Amino acid sequence: MKRLDQQVAIVTGAGRGIGKAIASHYAREGAKVVIAELDKSLGESLARELNNTAAEALFVKTDIRQFADIADLCTKTQQHFGSIDILVNNAATTKSLDFFDITEADWEWIYSVGAKGLFFCMQRVGAVMKAQGHGRIINIASIAGKGYPATSNIAYAGAKGAVIAMTRIAASTLAADNINVNAICPGVTRTELYYEVVKGKIKTLGKSEAEIIELFDGSIPIKRSNEPEDIADLAVFLASKEARNVTGQSWNVDGGLVCD
């Protein structure tokens, strides 16, 4: 039997990067995967890809900034698969911004997805899990939320710090309902957002892409940045039976950048 056999998992922001890696790993481990993605072409493409491997996948176009979209996501998931066993709150956004360059619009944009949207996904799906009597919630935070200074910007760090705090409180609140809530805190990870940050650093530091990447990797004790699959491997464990007594934790995957 596979580790997530017949489990129903929602993954937000699943169209690319870490979310795509998690959705693919879950499908490989036997889960039925709901791809909650704002970009229709990316979401449909991944659903086709997973369904072609004999997995069961459903795409639901979702903007987690909208309460109606979150409600629709839950309804369609339950109608199609009958339950929601796992939620991975992965959707987030950022860009490279200096301290004095952050605007109110930047702040609202980052927090509306990375903190507000994440909470209301957790709240809505948590209600379904409470009624079922079980569930796993995995929030993708960041070592930026623990004060890692080389973050893309301070607003993003603040939003991820909020994710870590909400994870701990939600774990305590939902423990009696047999719902585990944990966070994964990636370090430097080679996703589309990573390369956007690299582009920003090229402009601010006046270095080439290769030099910026070497700078990033050189700062990591293990001298290796993450691939999305490194995060997905931990997400599988946290959703599996092996992690049944693990809750309220924030797990770093960062090559030793932060010891917390």
Rounded Cα distance between 110 and 117, Å, is 10
The active-site residue, picked from 111, 156, 194, 195, is: 156
Rounded Cα distance between 192 and 205, Å, is 20
What's the residue count for the chain? 260
What is the sign of the dihedral through the CA atoms of 231, 12, 7 and 139?
A: positive
Is 60 strand, coil or helix?
strand
Q: 89-118 burial, b if ≥16 CB within 10 A, otherwise e?
A: bbbbbbbbbeeeeeeeebbebbbbbbbebb
* 148 is annotated as an active-site residue: no
Rounded Cα distance between 228 and 124, Å, is 27
- Asked if residues 35 and 8 have their Cβ atoms less than 8 Å apart, the reply is no
Catalytic residue numbers? 156
